[in-house]
Amino acid sequence: MKKTTGIIIFIACAVFLAEQIFFLICGYALPEQFGDTFMGELKYKYERLVQTEGKRIIFIGGSGTAFGYDCELTENLLKEYRTVNFGMYAGLGIRAVLDLSEDLIRKGDIVIVSPEQDPQTLSCYFNGTYMWQAADGAFYMLKGLKRNSLEQMLGTFPGFALEKLNYVIRGKKPEADSVYCRKSFNEYGDIKDEICSGNVMPEGFDPDHPVTFTKEVIQEEFICYLNSYAEKIEKKGARIWYRFCPCNRSAVVNEENADKYYRYLQEALEFPVIGNPHNSIMDEEWFFDTNFHLNSSGKTVNTVQAVRDIKAMLGDSSSVKTDIPEKPENRSRDPEMKKQIWTKENSYEYQDQEEIVIPKEITRIQDYSFENCKKLKRIIMQQKDPSACMVGQHLLDGTDAQIFVPEEAADRYRLNYSWSVYADRIQETEHP
Read off the pLDDT of residues 375-403 as tens digits, 9 standing for 90 and up.
889 999 999 999 889 898 888 888 889 99
94: Cα separation from own chain's centroid: 9
Within 8 A by CB and 6+ apart from 124, the residues are 93, 95, 219, 221, 222, 225
Q: Write the pLDDT tens digit of every residue in 231-263.
A: 999 999 999 999 999 999 999 999 999 999 999
With CA atoms as reference, report the closest residue to 390 among 205, 117, 175: 205
For the chain, which residues score pLDDT lower than 70? 1-28, 177, 331-339, 349-350, 430-432
Report the pLDDT value the prediction gives residue 32, as an integer from 0 to 100.
92
Domain spanning 39-314: CATH superfamily? SGNH hydrolase (3.40.50.1110)
User: CATH 3.40.50.12480 residue ranges in the chain?
Assistant: 340-429
pTM of the model: 0.89
Report the pLDDT value the prediction gives residue 11, as an integer from 0 to 100.
52
Pairing status of strand 402-406 against strand 426-429: parallel
Report the pLDDT value the prediction gives residue 407, as an integer from 0 to 100.
87
User: CATH 3.40.50.1110 residue ranges in the chain?
Assistant: 39-314
Report the pLDDT value the prediction gives residue 22, as an integer from 0 to 100.
45
Q: Which residues of 234-265 are buried (b: 16+ CB within 10 A; e: fewer)?
A: eeeebbbbbbbbbbbbbbbeeeebbeebbebb
* Cβ neighbours of 223 (radius 10 Å): 17
CATH numeric code, 340-429 = 3.40.50.12480
